[in-house]
A and B are shown apart, each in its own frame.
Chain A
Amino acid sequence: MSEMPEAMIKINNVSKWYGDFKVLTDCTTSVAKGEVIVVCGPSGSGKSTLIKCVNGLEAFQQGDITVKGISVGDPKTNLPKLRAHVGMVFQHFELFPHMTITDNLSIAQIKVLGRSKDEAHAKTMKLLDRVGLKAHAHKHPGQLSGGQQQRVAIARALCMDPICMLFDEPTSALDPEMVNEVLDVMVQLAKEGMTMMCVTHEMGFARKVSNRVIFMDNGNIVEDATKDDFFGTPRSERAQQFLSKILSH
């Protein structure tokens, strides 16, 4: 990269252990403002753990992560306040099943950001419209399909006006025919300049909108390359194997 844009997320030599088991080893990377990063790798490689460290949902024992200059690992950091500005989308949607779709989107706006009910409702409707689900506003999550639920989950995160978005395998739990409706929303978001870090196996998405691809194996960042380099000439043998398996059919 010729010029170094402002880094939104900086991950510096992060290591994490579960007891004696090392799940992350000296992970270092960064996500610039407006950049879309895809993190891939075999299951158990630590990619989900790494992304959960970014907003402090998982603790790490070594190294440093900053989001817009704020240290995530610092015990003095107000984590809830930081997380309110970092959107996160989960593999299993994690909508609140006891609330309507509208309440799912509004509650944190009201309770965390202190928006008025009217303000929150207007924003909620705007974002539901954006993901094409305005007609389902009054329903409960259980009444929607997986793809619809995940779109709602994305809208819920966007309601908070996040400075960046984390996606943790957002399409892995979906029926195949529902993957695209979710990816479409993500592609649109990427095109609008949202800073995104996405753990995903959707290589089509990576090719289409990502700037860089990170390949992880065994808790290590094995490859951190531009999209073209990654798909063209992956350096590590492990990444080559992974790509040949995932792209062969």
Chain B
Amino acid sequence: MFSTFDFSVIVASLPFIWSGLQFTFKLTFVAMTGGIIIGTFLALARLSSIGPLAAAASWYVNIMRSIPLVMVILWFYLVIPLITGKPMGAETSALVTFTAFEAAFFCEIMRAGIQGIPKGQVAAGQAMGFTYSQVMRFVVLPQAFRNMLPVLLTQTIVLFQDTSLVYAIGAKDMLKAAEVAGKNYNRPVEMIIFVAIVYFSLSFALSYVVKRLQKRIAIKR
């Protein structure tokens, strides 16, 4: 059956797909770093003793986690221009949406990480004269981040795969590029198979890195 396939079109469209993959990488990277930073602040807010702050953060996280990502992507893309009166490009919209969405998931990871740090560490930091923010910056967060690194990376692998959902708003990521190329050459199946292999290879390689990392951290502790 493969005799009917023509995989040479893949080579021809590699530069085009590469430009899509670059956006996939960019989206993954921005959503990961932005998500971890915002997620960490959300986690601190959720664990805060200031009731309204904790409640607001908790609401945000629960809402984000209860809506399918593709809905959030569409909602942001369609509704934000209605509010601001200005159209937002699909790429920009995707970057904002993914960062906001992933922040909720990274928040829960960081919250678990922060809660996993023994109370005595906080007490020791306080006893040295550290303020709350110093205790967090120098004592709690570095350890929480380190302990949670494998989980953060695993979430990033999921994020990397989820970026293909920007397909819904026509942002040009790897999947969209492959689809366009497939239409040009009238070879959609070959293209879909090819990007599936790329997604698989990158995700698999990254999960191998995570496994190695877990072992290394396990030895050090």
Contact = CB atoms under 8 A, between A and B. Distances in A.
Interface stretch (A37-45, A61-69, A76-84, A201-209): A76-84
B19 interface: no
Given A94-B124, A107-B138, A84 B129 contact: yes
A92 B127 CA distance: 14
Interface SS of chain B: helix, strand, loop or mixed? helix
Contacts of A92: 118, 120
Contacts of A83: 126-129
Interface string B117-138: 0101101111111110010001
B134 A90 contact: no
Interface residues on A, range: 20 to 34
Contacts of A160: 128-129
Given A98-B146, A111-B134, A142-B220, A80 B120 contact: no
Interface string A85-120: 111101010111110000000011001110000000
B154 interface: no
B118 to A, nearest CB: 8
Contacts of B127: 55, 57, 83, 86-88, 90, 157
Listed residue (A81, A88, A94, A107) with the most chain B CB atoms within 10 angstroms of its CB: A94
A57 B121 CA distance: 12
Interface string B122-164: 0111111111001000110011001000000000000000000
A142 B143 CA distance: 14
Contacts, number: 64
B150 to A, nearest CB: 16
A149 B138 CA distance: 19
B86 interface: no
Contacts of B131: 80
B143 A98 contact: yes
B216 interface: no
A9 to B, nearest CB: 15
Most chain A CB inside 10 Å of its own CB: which residue of B125, B129, B142:
B129
B121 A108 contact: no
A92 B124 CA distance: 10
B140 to A, nearest CB: 10
B221 interface: yes
A195 to B, nearest CB: 16
Interface of B: 118, 120-121, 123-131, 134, 138-139, 142-143, 146, 220-221
19 contacts: A57-B123, A57-B126, A80-B129, A80-B130, A80-B131, A83-B129, A85-B129, A88-B127, A90-B124, A92-B118, A94-B118, A94-B121, A95-B124, A107-B138, A108-B129, A112-B130, A112-B134, A142-B221, A160-B128
8 smallest beta-carbon distances between A and B, as pairs: A84-B129, A94-B124, A108-B128, A88-B127, A112-B129, A94-B120, A83-B129, A80-B131
